[in-house]
Structures are given as C-alpha cells and as structure tokens.
C-alpha cells in the first residue's frame, strides 16, 4: 500500500521509535468497525437536527447494521486477497460488540479462503472513548441541554476537554500508550491487525506519529475515520513504525453504490 493522496499535509510525519529497547511489530494495521446501529441513528438524527437518536442500550452493546456486516465481510475478503503480502499473525480487538462482530466477520472470510487464522487478543484499552453524561447525545442536544459543557469544550479543545464522567482524547491516548507498550513486548517481528473505534484510530496517529494538538485537530477536521477504513504503519530500517496509509477503503464500492448511510 502507499500513502493516500487525501489530505497529504496531515500525512507528513517524522518516524520515531516509540520504545527504543523493543523491536516491535513488523506492521500495525488499524481498522474501524463496520457501521453500527448508533452510526446510522446519529447520521439520521444529525441530518435533521434531532435531539434524540433513539438508542437505549449501552455503548458497549451496539451491534453492526446489515451494511456494517457487508463492510466487514468485504474487508475480510480484501485482506484474504492480499495474503501474498503477509497475513496478520495477531488480531487485537476492542471488547465492544461492534468491534467483536467486525473481527469475527474478517476471520470468517480468512477461514473461508483456507488461510491461517490470527491469534485473538481482546484488550479493554482499545475500547471507544467514553463520553459519560453526554453519551448518545447529538450535537444539538448537547448545546441545548448542557450549554456549559459545550462552551467548555470549545474553550479547552477536544484533546483536553473531558465530559462529566467521561474521557478526554488525552485520556484515551494514555491508555493506548499502555496498550502499545504491551503490543511491542508481545508481538516482536509480527504483523498485527487491530479492530477498534474512530477515536482509537485517530489517537494512534497522535501517539505513533507524534502529532501535536493542532495537527490532530486539523486531521479530525479533514474528515472522520470511516467505517472499516484501513490505517497502516510498517517498520522501517531504523525500527520505527512509519505511516503507510491512512483512512482508506479499497475494499468498498464507490460511496454512491453503498447500500445506505
């Protein structure tokens, strides 16, 4: 794979070794889960400025939509089609249902192709960002019901703002550094596939590529981490993970041909 030409400024990074004493993985590929029921509900609610998305279950229990399952299966077939380049040795997954379902569908496609299956590791530190009191609220609902938090968010910025009972991006980055340390120790010279969430993939850029706050904000403004998009780092000759591609979906048809939002 090569660097996508989307937002090239955000892709220019200086490779560095996160943990110089450890060889680390040969490659790390991070993907976001397929479309979830909440993704579809938020898309519909935000489009009309609605306050309620109609989701009553825990964030951890959200499942994939039929489209999300299609996306995950397509990703699995794409990974299988590239087996000559090296399949993942390990599959690290968030414990949330939508990521577990995405990982299962990927593995099903590898198994259907008769390919070796990766070792599975479910890690709590790969869970989605926790929003606490503001969980499952649209932007309009936050502005109306919690104007003080909306103002504090604008003042502090996304990296430092922590919603009541929730996490800031900096909090998520801290647990990702811990997870990466363990990954480096347990996955030397191996190819790792990681299935997680948009905030996790974005903040891996922050941690691995050493993006500063302004760069992270620019990256977020350039566009969301898409469902089942692929972001990949490969180890260079100096032992540093180097960004190879960011937020690409070569396994999917053009957006106009997808089933539904």
Q: Which residues are annotated as a binding site for substrate?
A: 32-39, 98
Query: Residue 188: phi, psi to the nearest 5?
Result: -65, 135
Alpha helices (H) along 82-197: 97-112, 139-145, 147-156, 169-186
Q: How far apart are CA 173 and CA 199, in angstroms?
A: 9
The four Cα atoms 101, 103, 105, 106 give a dihedral, to 10 degrees, of: 170
Euclidean distance between the first and the last CA atom of the chain, given in angstroms as a whole number: 27
Binding-site annotation: residue ranges: 32-39, 98
Radius of gyration, CA atoms only, the chain = 18
Contacts of 154 (CB under 8 A, 6+ apart): none
How many CB atoms within 10 Å of residue 139?
Answer: 13
CA distances from 160 to 153, 163, 198 (A): 8, 10, 17
Residues written for the chain? 261
């Amino acid at each position: 794979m090569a660097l996508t030409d989307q937002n090239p400024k955000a892709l220019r990074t200086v490779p560095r070794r996160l943990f110089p004493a450890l060889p680390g993985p040969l490659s790390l590929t991070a993907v976001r889960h397929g479309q979830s029921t909440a993704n579809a509900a938020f898309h519909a609610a935000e489009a009309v400025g609605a306050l309620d998305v109609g989701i009553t279950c825990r964030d951890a229990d959200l499942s994939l939509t039929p489209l999300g399952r299609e996306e995950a299966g397509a990703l699995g077939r794409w990974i299988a089609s590239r087996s000559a380049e090296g399949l993942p040795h390990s599959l690290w997954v968030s414990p949330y249902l939508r990521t577990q379902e995405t990982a299962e569908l990927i593995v099903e496609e590898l198994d259907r192709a008769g390919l070796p299956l990766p070792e599975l590791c479910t890690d709590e530190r790969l869970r989605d960002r926790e929003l606490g009191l503001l969980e499952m609220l649209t932007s309009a609902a936050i502005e109306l019901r919690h104007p003080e938090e909306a103002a504090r968010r604008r003042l502090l910025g996304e990296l430092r703002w922590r919603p009541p009972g929730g996490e800031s991006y900096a909090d998520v980055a801290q647990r990702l550094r811990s997870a990466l340390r363990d990954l480096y120790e347990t996955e030397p010279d191996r190819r790792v596939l990681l299935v997680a969430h948009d905030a996790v993939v974005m903040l891996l850029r922050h941690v691995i590529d050493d993006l500063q706050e302004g760069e992270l904000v620019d990256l977020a403004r350039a566009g969301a981490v898409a469902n089942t998009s692929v972001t990949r780092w490969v180890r260079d000759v100096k032992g540093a993970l180097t960004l190879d591609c960011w937020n690409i979906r070569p396994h999917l048809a053009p957006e106009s041909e997808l089933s539904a939002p």
